[in-house]
């Protein structure tokens, strides 16, 4: 049985990973260099036939043609872009931060490529995102893939795919694909496909398809198709589904305390579009 997402406490939120850092400002690379987020399989190989070297070594693309999509080393400039262009991401994938010559980087929609660069970091997605946020000030302009960020009450935070965003009461937290977003009371938490969202009392939690949304008392939890939702006392749950008869999406809504819906229980929809406990 899948349990509802545990809701964190926000009594003493003081961590602020936004820019600028209070005690440890970002250490930017030289003006003619840029940091790129890259990914590999566990053995450091890639799906385009290249194997990355260790930290401190220069990676050189075996084939380079700046005017074509193929060839070159691939990644996301400053950690921004479409994570799906990295292909299937395994749980034990290696995440890299590579320093490349800015003038050699070729950007295309959602990603970039470059002929060579020095490997600066190898580790987890969170570790790579932390390295980018610390050493590349331009990474703060848009959500970073894999970033974990926390802000206080009434503030907003947004991270990319595979990341985690946490905000206090009356805050807004947004995470991308397979991300985790959580807020305190009266806040709004939103996550993408296969994401998890949690909101406090009178908050709103929204998760994409196959995601999980959880809200506390008087809160609203909304999940996409094949998703799961849970709410506290006097809360509301809703799950999107596809209506084949009229070929459109519809929203199934349930009220906690009515029609057998229990508080804090996690529900999904069966084939007859009825709420059933998970």
Q: For residue 174, is pLDDT > 70?
A: yes
Q: Which among 32, 135, 52 is positioned nearest to 95, based on CA atoms?
A: 52
Mean pLDDT of the chain: 89
Q: How far apart, in whole angstroms, are the C-alpha atoms of residue 46 and residue 57?
A: 17
Which tens digits make up the pLDDT trace of 87-123?
A: 667 889 999 999 999 999 999 889 999 999 999 999 9
pLDDT on residue 17: 28
Q: For residue 1, is pLDDT > 70?
A: no
Which of 65-74, 104-113, 203-212, 225-234 has the lowest average pLDDT?
A: 65-74
Q: How far apart, in whole angstroms, are the C-alpha atoms of residue 154 and residue 65?
A: 48
The mean per-residue pLDDT over the stretch 45-68 comes to: 92
Q: Which tokens hold the place of 93?
A: 């994938």
Phi and psi angles of residue 104, each rounded to the nearest 5 degrees, phi first = -95, -10
Q: For residue 262, is pLDDT > 60?
A: yes
pLDDT on residue 4: 53
Question: What count of residues does the chain have?
Answer: 278
Reported pTM: 0.85
Task: Tell me the β-bridge partners of 37.
Answer: 76, 97
Confidence of residue 213 (pLDDT cuts 50, 70, 90): very high
Q: How far apart, in whole angstroms, are the C-alpha atoms of residue 175 and residue 195?
A: 8
Task: Tell me the β-bridge partners of 250.
Answer: 241
Number of H helices, E strands in the chain: 1, 22
Q: How far apart, in whole angstroms, are the C-alpha atoms of residue 185 and residue 277?
A: 25
Q: For residue 192, is pLDDT > 80?
A: yes
pLDDT on residue 29: 65
Which tens digits make up the pLDDT trace of 115-170?
A: 999 999 999 999 999 999 999 999 999 999 999 999 999 999 999 999 999 999 99
The mean per-residue pLDDT over the stretch 67-88 comes to: 87
pLDDT on residue 49: 84
Do the Cβ atoms of 235 and 267 come closer than 8 Å? no
């Amino acid at each position: 049985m899948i349990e509802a997402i545990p809701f964190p406490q926000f009594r003493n939120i003081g961590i602020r990973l936004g820019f600028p850092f209070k005690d440890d400002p970002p250490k930017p690379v030289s003006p003619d260099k840029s940091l790129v987020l890259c990914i590999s399989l566990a053995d450091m190989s890639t799906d385009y036939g290249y194997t990355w070297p260790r930290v401190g070594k220069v990676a050189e693309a075996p084939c380079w043609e700046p005017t074509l999509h193929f060839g070159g080393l691939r990644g996301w400039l400053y950690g921004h872009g479409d994570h799906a262009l990295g292909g299937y991401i395994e749980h034990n994938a290696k995440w890299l931060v590579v320093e490349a010559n800015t003038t050699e980087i070729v950007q295309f929609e959602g990603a970039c490529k470059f002929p060579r660069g020095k490997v600066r970091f190898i580790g987890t997605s969170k570790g790579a995102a932390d390295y980018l946020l610390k050493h590349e000030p331009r990474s703060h302009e848009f959500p970073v893939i894999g970033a974990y960020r926390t802000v206080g009450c009434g503030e907003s935070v947004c991270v990319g795919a595979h990341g985690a965003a946490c905000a206090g009461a009356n805050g807004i937290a947004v995470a991308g694909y397979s991300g985790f977003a959580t807020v305190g009371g009266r806040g709004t938490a939103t996550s993408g496909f296969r994401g998890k969202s949690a909101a406090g009392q009178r908050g709103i939690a929204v998760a994409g398809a196959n995601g999980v949304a959880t809200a506390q008392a008087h809160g609203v939890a909304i999940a996409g198709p094949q998703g799961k939702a849970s709410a506290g006392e006097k809360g509301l749950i809703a799950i999107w589904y596809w209506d084949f008869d009229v070929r459109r999406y519809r929203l199934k809504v349930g009220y906690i305390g009515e029609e057998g819906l229990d508080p804090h229980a996690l529900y999904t929809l069966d084939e007859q579009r009825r709420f059933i406990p998970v």
